[in-house]
Structure 1
Amino acid sequence: MKTKKLKKEVDKTIKYLCKKVRDDNYMCDYKDSMARTLDSMMKTRARLGKSKKTK
């Protein structure tokens, strides 16, 4: 059950980060660190089990 909740949180974070990274008006200083965070989130997501959404 705990893994399911974590998956949901990771999905939410990935979605949010994707939206922010794509937004060009967003501060460029943050984009690099956000891309890094997104990368680690994707790795976490892959470890938790693949979802049809992320494919």
Structure 2
Amino acid sequence: MTALTKAFHKAFSEASDSPKHELLKQLLLLCAAILLVSAMALTYGTDLSHGFF
């Protein structure tokens, strides 16, 4: 968890202008998008209305 936090900090800090940091930023955003789509696909058809709970 600490490594993930350090990677996010390094990628999105103000001083990250190098191409290496730009690549890291793009990879992290891609992974976040993949996780979001995966979560949406797993919950497809699930009733998440207030009556369900």
Structure-1-length-normalised TM-score: 0.44
TM-score (norm 2): 0.45
More relative contact order in 1 or in 2 (CA 8 Å, sep 6+)? 1
Indicate the structure (1 or 2) with the bigger Cα radius of gyration: 2
Q: Whose helix fraction is larger, Structure 1's or Structure 2's?
A: 1
